[in-house]
A = this chain, B = another copy of it.
Amino acid sequence: MSMSASLRGRTSLARQLAEDVRSRIMSGEFAPGERLPSEADLVRRYEVSRVTVRTALRTLEAQGLVDVRHGSGSFVSDFGGGIRAGLQELRSISDTIREMGHEPRMERHASERRPATATETAKLGIPVGAEVLALERMVLADEQVVAYSFDVVPLDGFPVELVHQLGAGSLFATLAEAGIMPSRALAEVHAISDETIGWGPQKPVPGLYVLLDQVHFSRRGSAVAYSRTYFVEGRFQFVVLRTN
């Protein structure tokens, strides 16, 4: 397909196409409300099959970026310039922030090796007392706090030389390096009001958060991490396409 070489790799054509269209939307090449090229056009332009085009459009639709209308075309959704993430799409927070045109940064606040708690053994399906690495991190976009994250990674079988790197940057990136890329996560969504969560000069007042309480699984079905991420209400926009 005729897009920049940097996009090539082992990511699927559909994903590459979605990324490309998304970046064009972000850059303003396709403005909100505007109609995107038809599926047939996209087939010709990118030299892919229509199935691939449709897969990409469905991804963008699930992210709330485009609105596909039968018989009319696909239109760029009008959304507030905030960070908009499709809830059902699993990706690193860093990547999501970067894709929305902001600069992500992770700041590690605490890091501790300790036995897993009862909750953690249950969520992760590991033996009682198994060793885990517990992290407390702050997530920033353009130096503004967008979330506080509390992550727990089982250390059994985890490469020793990579342990210190956990939480230094993107957790996903380190997990991927260790060969256990999360491919699925089961998340619970909660509203939390708690002044004791968070830290730093930008600590939000009042402490109102959308909590994603989630267990990450590898492709083989084993739990690789348990995360509680508190997203500062209003700074991160979660959208879900619900269908029946």
Contacts and interface: CB of A to CB of B under 8 A. Distances in A.
Contacts of A219: 69-70
B88 A241 contact: yes
Nearest to A84: B188
B183 A87 contact: no
Contact of A242 (B89, B192, B234): B89
Interface in A165-192: 182-192
A203 interface: no
Interface residues on chain A, size class:
35 or more
Interface string A210-244: 11001000011100000000000110011111111
A1 interface: no
A62 interface: yes
B70 A220 contact: yes
A16 to B, nearest CB: 14
A94 to B, nearest CB: 14
A87 B240 contact: yes
Contact of A210 (B67, B122, B185, B190): B190
